[in-house]
Amino acid sequence: MDVAVLGYGTIGSGVVEVLKVNQDVIEKKAGCPLRVKYVLDLRDFPGDPVQRKLVKDFQVILQDPDVKIVAEAMGGLHPAYEFVRASLEAGKSVATSNKELVATYGAQLLRIAEEHHVNFFFEASVGGGIPVIRTMNMSLTPEYFIEVMGILNGTTNYILTQMEEAGATFEEALKQAQEKGYAERNPKADVEGYDACRKIAILSSLAFGKTVDYEQIPTEGITKITLDDLKVAKALGRKVKLVARSYQADGKVFAKVSPLLLKLSHPLASICGVYNGVLIRGNMVDDIVLQGKGAGKKATASAVVADIMTAARYFPYRISARCHWEEEILDLTDSRLMAAAYMIRTDCPVAASTPYFAQTVPVSGVHAFTTGLVNEQQLSEIREALTEAGCGILGMIQMN
């Protein structure tokens, strides 16, 4: 069966590599050989055997009836969306690693795939090689999902781990991440939490059945996290993690991306470096936690190839149809309405008489305290009391 790969960057070249290196097992398990017939890229790759499969015009792929499966690894919304849509409409199954595409057009593309009796798969769009999409869609099918919570961005987790373990500042750790190829030259999408936000939007849409608009998810990154915050976290027996989370309570759905102070016993607290982890809570199975490499060429490409193989294995049967994700936008409830406890770091000692004060965190040279459970209104009271006492807030992180 012929496959076309769109984009020969990290993931696209990884897909070609995985299909080649593991050719034997892939042919056996897919039930047929999988051949890469075309690779679409505007660049040339002289010396790379891919060169003779390179095409620069997508129409060549679209109009070739031998191509039954398209792997999209271009990233970005356009022209990825147009190419994926045209492929589906031409009766080709699609496997994509493009989280922005899936977060924005996932429900629509699933509908188009259904109308054209083909598959739209996107395992690699969240969590790299971790099979979280298939676990939600095919394994935890009897569950009412209560919560999805994850460390979904490897770059920020690497930075936080470096700060914690090597005492690097945020800037130093970011530079190391860039040198190691974990962070882009423009790291904004990672460090501001936008990447994690798109990924939790996809998981939340699958969990709750309607489209979660990522622009409605309150998102805070890790750029304000300092070494002092990590010292306080340690004194509290906790870890600072960038957590993307959504959950439902009383028929309302909440979603948020922000740093959280996780207890050491929390299953996501031990996810370090570039690893990702996802906790899924169902009403019957309780908590399932998946962890693994959340990024990286081979791990992510393996997830794309698994999707290609599923499309091939059951061809011409369409297996992705019953993915319950409607185009209708889900009403999110403002997560600030939910009560939470906070760690607040200040520039002077704070009196125990401060409203909702719970305890001082004893760290030499740092002033920090924790609060009881407070909502946004009560948090404002705390802020006012601190201002009146002449105390400035240097940092504030929610505790979980």
Provide the annotated active-site residues: 199
- Does 12 count as an annotated binding residue? yes
Among 218, 267, 355, 395, binds its own copies (CB under 8 A): 267
- Does 193 count as an annotated binding residue? no
How many positions of this chain bind its own copies (CB under 8 A)?
A: 54
Complex with its own copies: residue 9 or 316, whichever CB lies closer: 316
Of residues 181 through 220, those in contact with its own copies by CB under 8 A are none
Token pair listed for 30: 């897919």
Is 360 a binder of its own copies (CB under 8 A)? no
Of residues 64 through 123, those in contact with its own copies by CB under 8 A are 123
Angle at 66 between CA 63 and CA 70, to 5 degrees: 75
DSSP 138-171: IISTTPPEEEEEEE--HHHHHHHHHHHHH---HH
Rounded Cα distance, 387 and 389, in Å: 5
Complex with its own copies: residue 133 or 163, whichever CB lies closer: 133
**Among residues 94, 56, 72, which one has the least CA distance to residue 310?**
94
Residue 72 and residue 98 in contact, taking contact as beta carbons nearer than 8 Å: yes
- Does 11 count as an annotated binding residue? yes
- Does 105 count as an annotated binding residue? no
Is 146 a binder of its own copies (CB under 8 A)? no
Among 5, 243, 260, 303, binds its own copies (CB under 8 A): 303
Q: At its nearest, how many Å lie between its own copies and the CB of residue 299?
A: 5
Return phi, psi of residue 239, to 5°: -125, 145
Is 262 a binder of its own copies (CB under 8 A)? no
Residue 118 and residue 92 in contact, taking contact as beta carbons nearer than 8 Å: yes
Alpha helices in the chain (DSSP H): 10-21, 23-30, 58-62, 80-89, 99-115, 132-134, 154-166, 170-179, 188-191, 194-208, 227-235, 297-313, 376-388
Is 239 a binder of its own copies (CB under 8 A)? no
Q: Which residues are annotated as a binding site for NADPH?
A: 99
Residues that bind its own copies (CB under 8 A): 18-19, 21-22, 25-26, 28-31, 123, 129-131, 134-135, 138-144, 265, 267, 270, 282-293, 296, 298-299, 301-303, 305-306, 309-310, 313-314, 317, 319, 322, 324
